A and B are shown apart, each in its own frame.
Chain A
């Protein structure tokens, strides 16, 4: 394999990895706010992509994407308000099953609204044949879009959590819900907000990858598992580490294509997850059930 080709694999790995990272961050945001894992996280990417694909037929691309992101964000809010907000102290098993059920309902709804075919959003700039020469490698401009958009999302989120009052309040809730409430923070609203952020971010990620990886109604669950791999790899709740983990998983996955048949691509990420769980389960137990403040660690500059 030549250097240029290696670079190409590497960059496409980084790009897919950053999408996994966005899914992982979505898990983290909701986990920090509620202590639960939203198994429907992957569906937000599918919904964002699918809606933008439908909207682009009569809207200019940027508007279609904006509308799709907003709609998915609101759907996340609706999901939280309708199905989850009124459960008092539900046990973990119950929450897992509810969000898995919701992910299936979303997926099946998508199957009936759209169809079982593979769809793709238009390339944001140029088309599938256009390419940029970077260090001798031919890259699709969309790859750069993926990198830029995910970079912006992570940066924006970091700034949000660190410098805005709302972001600080969310961190406060994550580290000590009771203390935060005593300080007058309205926790339920922040939980709803966390669903909006996670869903909207997922939808935007779904739009930016759609031209390259395409969008299909059943893509959500495997994305969710990979995103969770990143979240676990980085330590659940730790946003910054999820990015590094995502890139690592993406690059390994992309490198595996050179060695293993394409069919096993998905196995790589999942094996990594199982291996991590095998080697470091004690590190992963920390924080289950208790909402210790992992976001604080991520953003406190540790």
Chain B
């Protein structure tokens, strides 16, 4: 029974995905599937950041930079006719390499410094994109071809493959979630939580703090880069807006609202808010909504929106938080 208890939520999610597709198609509103597919790809970014920020306690304000590196690498490779299948692996590889090189110096920093350094990294990526002709400057790169998979299936936003791409994206999300869930339950996950709690104590307990931090940083970047590469093929293009600071801040908002060290919460909040945002539900206040969420969540529900369901709205002074360490 115990084994099933772990997989049950994932099976429920898979059921939900199928249910969503069937009912949306039956209701002839399957255009929602397109935004749900995009929301799925974007959610991978949030899941990656959840591992880094939620579990390991390392803030990154530059996830959009990694997303853009993956996306632009894929776009450049597939539009210059280098290769049709290399684009996504190359996007992931370049993202991993950059995050590795950036992570080594940057992860030695803590708190504000880490936040600012990753913010600066995001800025640099977006400025380089706007500055270089190969990245299409302010116009971005368009006419990115579909990414061929097996048997005519491709990552594309074209209508005939709408349902297939919906399942593809959600399949990837479920796999990504499964990997992340297994990771946080493992020895590595416990090491990451120990690092978040107290780096010195973690090091004293024999955890190679630097290595674990770098590993989870690269992993979170790979989630973002992979999502960027796939979404670029899906959208048939990418623009410099994807590298913007606001996009990074959004990911932080999603993880914070999801409850930080809470993969399921992050996924739920991410899909709902990204979907609403893509549908234009927030209108002109799109960015303001995410800013407002950040402030409100951190002020009133630092353990995420779902903690409110369990504990109600906490009193303003001295949040009754989950017992955190001794005393």
Contact = CB atoms under 8 A, between A and B. Distances in A.
Interface of A: 36-37, 39, 83, 86-88, 92-94, 96-98, 100-105, 107-109, 112, 221-222, 225, 228-229, 232, 261, 263-264, 266-267, 270-271, 273-274, 277-278, 281, 284-285, 288-289
A83 B295 contact: yes
B291 A101 contact: yes
Interface in B102-132: 105-106, 108-113, 115-117, 119-121, 123-124, 127-128, 130-131
Interface string B258-287: 000000000000000000000000001101
Contacts of A229: 120
A94 B294 CA distance: 10
Given A101-B291, A267-B127, A277-B109, A228 B252 contact: no
A-B pairs, 7 with minimum CB distance: A104-B291, A101-B294, A263-B131, A108-B288, A101-B295, A278-B105, A37-B112
Give the secondary structure class of A's interface. Answer: helix
B57 interface: yes
Nearest to A231: B116
B257 to A, nearest CB: 10
B112 A96 contact: yes
Contacts of B292: 101, 105
15 contacts: A83-B295, A93-B111, A100-B252, A101-B292, A101-B295, A104-B294, A107-B287, A109-B288, A267-B124, A274-B121, A277-B108, A277-B109, A277-B117, A281-B105, A284-B109
Nearest to A112: B284
Judged by DSSP, the binding face of B is helix
Contact of A101 (B121, B298, B302): B298
Interface in B1-21: none
A288 B113 contact: yes
B113 A225 contact: no
Contacts of A273: 116-117, 120
B105 A285 contact: no
A225 B295 contact: no
Contacts of A86: 316-317
A112 B113 CA distance: 31
B245 interface: yes
A98 B115 CA distance: 13
Contact of B57 (A83, A93, A101): A93
A257 B256 CA distance: 39
Interface residues of B, number: 47
Contacts of B291: 101-105, 107-108
Contacts of A261: 131
Given A101-B291, A225-B116, A288-B111, 16 more contacts: A83-B295, A87-B299, A92-B110, A97-B294, A98-B294, A98-B298, A101-B293, A104-B246, A105-B291, A107-B291, A108-B285, A266-B127, A267-B127, A277-B105, A281-B105, A288-B113
A94 B116 contact: no
A105 B108 CA distance: 30
Interface in B29-60: 53, 57, 59
B226 interface: no
Contacts of B252: 97, 100
B9 to A, nearest CB: 27
Contacts of B253: 101
A177 B139 CA distance: 52
B169 interface: no
A88 B318 contact: yes
B266 to A, nearest CB: 14
